[in-house]
Amino acid sequence: MKRYLCLSGAVLFLTVAGCASLTGTQISSINRYSRLLEKNAEMPNAVITGLVSVKYDIELLNTGTVSPDQANEKLWNSYKGKETSLEKAGRADAGLKLLGEYAVALARLSSKGLSEDIKKPSEKLGISADTLVACYNRAVGSRVPPGIGLLLSKGTIFIGRSLIRNAQADALREYAQEGDTLVALVTEVLKRQMDSLILGQWIPALKADLKTKQEDLLNNLNPDGDYTAYYATQVNKEVATIIARIDNLEKLTRDAVRSVGIIRRAHRELLANVLERKKIGVVLSETVNLYQATKDLYDTWHVVTRFKNSE
Amino acid sequence: MKKEQDAAYKDIVAAMQEVNSRRTFRNIGMPEREDLDRAVLLLEELSWKIMSADIATFAERMGAAAKDLKALAGKIVKSYKELRAVAAAIRKAATAAGRAADIAGKII
């Protein structure tokens, strides 16, 4: 009987320990990457809504150069255009939110808490078992060795954690592999669109539009008027503020495009890392780069929002 | 399609530039000025339509590219819940065994 017990224990130990769970560093890397990915997914929409607001403000610049009736119409047209665009931007956000959803799900699955939950009740079991052994020894006068409870507690924690960690590792490997192709596709589409639409079309068009409106305003000022110089200065000040906003949003877009490239590379590196069966603790360089790029992105984002709020 | 849209966007800005260059302090209140102002309004309206269409295309492409991620995120959440259930079962078993040992200790 004793032999069978020993044999079953050994088989269970080898089965549990034989599966390669991920190291703490590997799990932390996935968790860190997922949180960075979630933060990055918010940025393209922030750029789009920022540029829609800039266009609206550009159009309001020269409202005074048309008749009062037309100025009214112009204002409401611009307002309607802005609202429609923002509503569509909300829909553009949906695709990006899926990237965020994937990141959140991956972060939850890579949480250390999954296997940590077992520790407390298992320790309590150990203490109870030791107390029971002590009671039994006292009552029967036997010499069952003390400390068996500690062994039981450690065994339960080991087996429980190993089972969960192995299942967690298998699931993370499978999903990271599946996610890699999808992340590559999403980041490629996102990068291409931000490059061609925002950097290639909108920003140059908005700058040209702003210049046109500025010239229009200045051309419509009475050169012999009493306050022409004052008005011209005010117009130019406002134009300068809008130029700075466009520049900040352009920088934010470039930072976001750079981040998107790193998201892709970091995912590939992460996948290669979790597929490795070696239990080595490594800090993934691309995840470190992504951390830095996300920090830069948020620094720029804070400049954009601070600038907007200080107007 | 994309090239046409590129051209349309640039054309709007170029046309606005053209119209605005004719709207000066000298023709304020003149009959031709009203037509020029009307043209500006129409061009601005058109530019919003182009911007909205651009955003819609952006949304469509992102949605198409990311739709499989939704299914994957769902699968990951399901696995997470299953693992939580396993952890909870082990926790419950350990707690129950601990209680049984406590009760047995009291009986002895």
Q: What is the ipTM metric for this complex?
A: 0.76
Closest CA to B44 of A27, A36, A73, A151: A73
Confidence (pLDDT) at B1: 44
Confidence (pLDDT) at A11: 46
A156, B51: Cβ pair inside 8 Å?
A: no
The string of pLDDT tens digits covering residues A243-277 is 999 999 999 999 999 888 888 888 888 788 777 75
Q: For the ranges A237-241, A288-292, B18-22, B83-87, which has the lowest average pLDDT?
A: A288-292
Distance from CA of B94 to the nearest CA of A (A): 6
Q: What is the mean pLDDT of residues B66-95?
A: 84
Distance from CA of B102 to the nearest CA of A (A): 6
Of A77, A85, A118, the CB nearest to B94: A118
Nearest 5°: the CA angle B18, B21, B27 is 130
Question: Does the pLDDT of residue B47 top 60, yes or no?
Answer: yes
Could you list the mean pLDDT of each consecutive 10-residue stretch along chain A, which spans 311 residues? Answer: 48 46 72 81 89 95 89 94 92 76 80 70 77 78 75 77 80 86 89 92 94 93 87 92 95 91 85 66 66 79 71 55
Confidence (pLDDT) at A18: 44
SS3 label, residue A81: helix
Of B6, B87, B102, the CB nearest to A117: B87
Helix runs in chain A, H state only:
2-18, 24-40, 43-61, 68-109, 113-116, 119-140, 148-193, 203-219, 228-275, 285-310
Given CB atoms, is B90 within the 8 Å cutoff of chain A?
yes
The rounded distance, in Å, linking the Cα atoms of A193 and A174 is 29
The rounded distance, in Å, linking the Cα atoms of B90 and A121 is 9
Confidence (pLDDT) at A110: 77
- The position carrying tokens 């605005």 is B20
Residue B71 one-letter amino acid: A
Residue B40 one-letter amino acid: V
Confidence (pLDDT) at A57: 95
Taking CB atoms and an 8 Å cutoff, what residues of chain A touch B75? 175
B95, A125: Cβ pair inside 8 Å?
A: yes
Closest chain A CA to residue B41: A74
Q: Which pTM does this prediction carry?
A: 0.76
- CB-based burial, A24-51: b 16+ in 10 Å, e otherwise: eebbbbbbbbbbbbbbbbbbbbbbbbbb
Confidence (pLDDT) at A15: 45
Interface test with A, best of B23, B68, B76 (most A CBs within 10 A): B76
The rounded distance, in Å, linking the Cα atoms of A299 and A256 is 12
